[in-house]
Structure 1
Amino acid sequence: MGEGVDAGAGVDEAAQVRAFWSGLGLPGLIDVHTHFMPGRVMDKVWAYFDAVGPMTGVDWPITYRDAEDERVRRLRDFGVRAFTAMVYPHKPGMAAWLNSWAAEFAARTPDCLHTGTFYPEPGAADEVRRTIEAGAQVFKAHLQVGAYDPTDPLLDDVWGLLAESGTPVVTHCGSGPVPGKHTGPGPIGAVLSRHPQLRLIVAHLGTPEYAEFLDFADRFAHVHLDTTMVFTDFTERLAPFPPALRPRLLDHQDRILLGTDFPNIPYPYAHALDSLARLGLGDAWLRAVCYENAARLFAGSPAGRRLGPNCS
């Protein structure tokens, strides 16, 4: 039976996280939304979060501001059997460099799903094709930070390649924590209408447009949503998840995936899991979200073959 896992001072957090998934009969966790980046990029990301308080009115301390090898070790200690290296560009010429770094990181970190990214620029489709051929298992698109329109004609072949290859793309398309010019359900909805086979993973459950992005899961068979930061005390202060929508989380039990935003979270990793458990949606839901759905989604990848399709 899954139990709450909030870690307090002096508590062995890794032991508590392991107790959570072992109590569900799982072999571990799969976290589809974690960040590993080149050092100077990660430093800039942390500097952004250090300054984000004035934008949101809430301080955003980085809980796991550690060296890269320590962050990998911590995820392994938690029992995270597969994770991602979500990288994202904010200007032309950056995507290829990030893809090269992510390929090297995945090669030396076998439990990391090889992650790619893209930006609307000439040659974007060629870069995505090369990245898929190099073994990319998942992509990241960040419409808020990248500040680009996902319907840009330079990206039409990119979305087409991702849809045709069945490669999932984790997309920050909701308007939280602060809206961007191209966030919200409208722009990415136009992409889905054009590419209905796209395996889109809506990051943060579409915060704060939860209902609208759940509607996408109703309409498009390959749309998934990740739980990154949703339901935590932190996000409940900024954009609470409406209790009336909880039954829809059960409706889409097979397409909701665990995501955390590790290491860039302002609370312990264990709290993200506790926030899922306290929804009261049952152990079968927790097993699906925390492991089974991602194992099935990535079943064709090297990591997926190692994880297995399910754990029942």
Structure 2
Amino acid sequence: MTDSSAEEIRRVTAFWRGLGLPGLIDVHTHFMPERVLAKVWAYFDAVGPLTARPWPIAYRLEEKDRVTRLRSFGVLTFTSMLYPHKPDMATWLNGWAADFAERTPGCLHTATFFPEPGVTRYVAEAIEAGARVFKAHLQVGAYDPADPLLDGVWGLLAEAGVPVVAHCGSGPAPGRHTGPGPIGAVLARHPRLRLIVAHMGLPEYSGFLDLAARYPYVHLDTTMAFTDFTEEATPFPRSELPRLLDLEDRILFGSDFPNIPYPYAEALEALARLGLGDGWLRAVCHDNAARLFRVTPAPRY
């Protein structure tokens, strides 16, 4: 372990210990088959030339080392966010994710889907197999969440009470079906859907806060929001800070580990800089997710 790694571990653990927490729950971490992850990393390597902003992967490590690093930070529970970009891919990803969760204590069994024939069947099978969270990526998948092929899926998830983390905001680049409108149409049909809006819905923060105010089962995750990296391009409007207090019980900590272009500790320190209080930080960094996913503090590794 390098001196810089040891210092970062100290910063992260000092954060949650100072709040009196047993550790962190991170609802937005990425683990996926290595060849898929390699393509994701290649995309981010190319983002710099595409957006004039370099995006170095801070934790370009082997899988076992990534798990070890999260545990060294005191992350008790995390996810394996993965997603298809085309048909006939989701069932394979779901099989991999089920195996990963089984062999990785602390990882919530994660699954995904794509609008294609048979999607309702394989989502039902994933739920039956114990999936505890799903991932939907409207930007990468380039699909309309209100596609009739998915109506049964949203209904199943709402009925089962299984949360789904959806990248439905238009950052870092807009898609054909991003923004609060398309996913809002889904919520109008399935108001009990436990939707977790990834990245606080950036850059359409206010629109997604409106959805959370309208639908009591909508949550938002903090992934990359409020950090210096994100604030430079898409700052969170300070006039909306009081709404973060209003929604204190429905905001969840997420990091985007390992694909972040800065140290993990910066995501936590950015939340503290909002000045919303220790109670808000405890709720966001542990208690809300513990309640939503019905988890208890895991043993130390």
TM-score bucket (shorter structure): over 0.9
Give the equivalent residue in structure 2 for 1:105: 100
Q: Is the counterpart of residue 169 in structure 1 residue 161 in structure 2?
A: no
- Kept in 2: contact 1:137–1:298 (CA 8 A): yes
How do 1:47-66 residues align onto structure 2 when only pairs under 5 Å count? 47-66=42-61
Instruction: Please point out which of 153, 169, 177 is paired with 2:148.
Output: 153
SS in 2 for 1:290: helix
Q: Is the counterpart of residue 115 in structure 1 residue 110 in structure 2?
A: yes
User: Aligned partner of 1:280: which letter?
Assistant: G
SS in 1 for 2:226: coil
Give the equivalent residue in structure 2 for 1:129: 124
User: Aligned partner of 2:130: which letter?
Assistant: G
Cα deviation, residue 57, structure 1: 1.9
Instruction: Please point out which of 298, 301, 307 is paired with 2:293.
Output: 298
Give the equivalent residue in structure 2 for 1:5: none
CA shift in 2, pair 1:64/1:192, >3 Å = same
**TM-score, normalised relative to structure 2:** 0.97
Cα deviation, residue 136, structure 1: 0.3
Give the equivalent residue in structure 1 for 2:266: 271
CA-to-partner distance for each residue in 1:94-133, whole Å, 9 max, x for gaps? 0000000000000000200000000000000000000000
- Determine the C-alpha separation between the residues in 2 that align with 1:157 and 1:305: 31
- Kept in 1: contact 2:25–2:78 (CA 8 A): yes
Structure 2 unaligned blocks of 5 or more: none
Provide the alpha-carbon RMSD of the alignment: 1.3
- Determine the C-alpha separation between the residues in 2 that align with 1:20 and 1:105: 28
Give the equivalent residue in structure 2 for 1:16: 11
- Determine the C-alpha separation between the residues in 2 that align with 1:139 and 1:35: 12
- Kept in 2: contact 1:55–1:178 (CA 8 A): no
User: Aligned partner of 2:43: which letter?
Assistant: Y
User: Aligned partner of 1:137: which letter?
Assistant: R
Give the equivalent residue in structure 2 for 1:45: 40
Give the equivalent residue in structure 2 for 1:30: 25
CA-to-partner distance for each residue in 1:169-221, whole Å, 9 max, x for gaps? 00000000000000001100000000000000000000000000000111001
- Determine the C-alpha separation between the residues in 2 that align with 1:282 and 1:271: 17
CA shift in 2, pair 1:132/1:288, >3 Å = same
- Kept in 1: contact 2:22–2:297 (CA 8 A): no
- Determine the C-alpha separation between the residues in 2 that align with 1:36 and 1:278: 29
How do 1:64-75 residues align onto structure 2 when only pairs under 5 Å count? 64-75=59-70
CA-to-partner distance for each residue in 1:222-251, whole Å, 9 max, x for gaps? 000000000001101110001111111000
Q: Is the counterpart of residue 223 in structure 1 residue 225 in structure 2?
A: no
- Determine the C-alpha separation between the residues in 2 that align with 1:103 and 1:132: 11
- Kept in 2: contact 1:32–1:226 (CA 8 A): yes
- Kept in 1: contact 2:220–2:252 (CA 8 A): yes
Task: Name the % identity.
Answer: 71
CA-to-partner distance for each residue in 1:133-153, whole Å, 9 max, x for gaps? 000000000000000010101
SS in 1 for 2:29: coil
Instruction: Please point out which of 56, 81, 86 is paired with 1:86.
Output: 81
- Determine the C-alpha separation between the residues in 1 that align with 2:203 and 2:50: 16
| Alignment coverage as a number of residue pairs | 297
- Determine the C-alpha separation between the residues in 2 that align with 1:307 and 1:191: 34
- Determine the C-alpha separation between the residues in 2 that align with 1:141 and 1:193: 18
User: Aligned partner of 1:120: which letter?
Assistant: P
- Kept in 2: contact 1:98–1:117 (CA 8 A): yes
Q: Is the counterpart of residue 262 in structure 1 residue 228 in structure 2?
A: no
- Determine the C-alpha separation between the residues in 2 that align with 1:306 and 1:257: 16
- Kept in 2: contact 1:295–1:307 (CA 8 A): no
Cα deviation, residue 159, structure 1: 0.3
User: Aligned partner of 1:263: which letter?
Assistant: P
- Determine the C-alpha separation between the residues in 1 that align with 2:5 and 2:75: 22
CA shift in 2, pair 1:10/1:292, >3 Å = closer
Cα deviation, residue 78, structure 1: 0.2
Instruction: Please point out which of 182, 188, 195 is paired with 2:190.
Output: 195
- Kept in 1: contact 2:134–2:162 (CA 8 A): yes
Cα deviation, residue 72, structure 1: 0.1
User: Aligned partner of 1:192: which letter?
Assistant: L
Structure 1 unaligned blocks of 5 or more: 1-7
SS in 2 for 1:141: strand
SS in 1 for 2:78: strand
User: Aligned partner of 1:81: which letter?
Assistant: L
